[in-house]
Structure 1
Amino acid sequence: MNKLEIIENELVPVYETSTGEKVVYGSELHEVLGAPSVYREWVKRRLSDIDAVENEEFQGVEISTPSGQTKKDHIIKLDTAKEMAMLERNEKGKQVRRYFIQIEKKYKSNQLAGLSTELKAVIVVDKRVTKVENEVKMLGRELKDFKMDMPILGVEIDEITAVARRKGAECLGGKKSNAYHDRSLRSKVYHDIYGELKRQFGVSTYKAIKRSQCQDALGVINKYTLPYILGEQIKDCNAQMNMEVM
């Protein structure tokens, strides 16, 4: 894939390999899209987002810079680059995607020009099937992202509640402690635990936390510590119990 010849340079430079494959350099695509993150982070995330297969849909390469140093880049097939552009979900991403589609149409028409009618029909059908498969694959990824962006479900609410109860009992000194059996103190502790969740995730109720944030929410609860004044109140309450026993 390394022997490349530039064939289009209107928006993003597009190259052709010795086998006729249309490709782009990842760094040049990144620059045109204007992604805010650095190239190394952006390309790793985008290739992962679309489940791109190395040495099939892209290839990592080392290229020389004007200063004589080398840097890591990627040679990416046009179909893959088109998906990456679409994931930017902005006007520049749409523009680049349309540009790639125009190039595909241009060179497909050139390739079909000398073929028989029967062979053209077979190729067209095959391309349509491939397009549908890619669209289904993309829809599946978007549906997965949509589900993870929804508020937590009942089973996840139960998990958060169970962890919060366990943490609250621990902060109160255990279920047999005087503080645990003090309804006012117990209410204050649980109110503060759930309040910390709402503060951390910017929601009005912990049930509005997204499914993708569930594990983070559990981590917040496990790391929860009592405010100083509430902690002192619990110590005093439990100390009173110890004095009564004495």
Structure 2
Amino acid sequence: MDQLKVVANEMLPIYQNEVGEKFVNARELYEQLLVSTPFPKWIEGRIEGYSFTDNEDFWTYFSVSTDGRPLKEYIFTLDAGKELAMIENNEIGKAIRKYFIEVEKRSYQQQPNSPLQALQIAINQMVLQEQKIIQLEQQVTIVQHRINSLDTIDTDGDLQQRLNKMIQRFAWSEGINFNKAWKMFRSTFNKVYRTNLKTKVNNYKEKHGLKQLTVPRYLALTNQLEDAVRVADKLLNKENEIA
């Protein structure tokens, strides 16, 4: 009884062992039946009154309650569970019994009636498993691509901070110093946008009477940071053409 797995769980869990026998937990059934009598008294009365046999109709074990006290649990066969449901003689008991019967029908329909059908079921399961593996591999690829993209394009901070971090990352990836990375960035930016950043920065400084002006700050003041980030992005991804 240790190797039970849930095979249905619409109204309440139904368990199955390794040989296909089905069971129901009496406490879970009791809770669905909305019985007012305390569970220990209810189950003991049902076992005694309807001659359920230990180790044939049901098995017992102990679990631990939320306050640490041991609870005696009862696992009934599905047939005995039908009787427990019907004994209540109410609509919910009848509904649960029908649910048990429906689960049994589904189980019978799934059983192969020939070696060929058993082989076909096994093949279908293998195909489904392979499809799941392929889906998982695709999901892993997508996630890895997103991780790589985030690793390439740093989205923390504002655009100016982002540009600085991208140039730092480019310098690290190319094994060059920060100044050389900026020089390569400026050269690429000038080529793409047919301009000269060094001249533009100096002209802006003179026009506005500034003593110092960094390239990122100039790009921010002239609303060109988005263009600059695109150039840095392409450098990081080593693409030749910049749209």
TM-score tier after normalising by the smaller chain length: 0.3 to 0.5
Q: How does the TM-score come out when normalised to structure 2?
A: 0.45
Q: How does the TM-score come out when normalised to structure 1?
A: 0.44
Q: Which has the larger radius of gyration?
A: 2
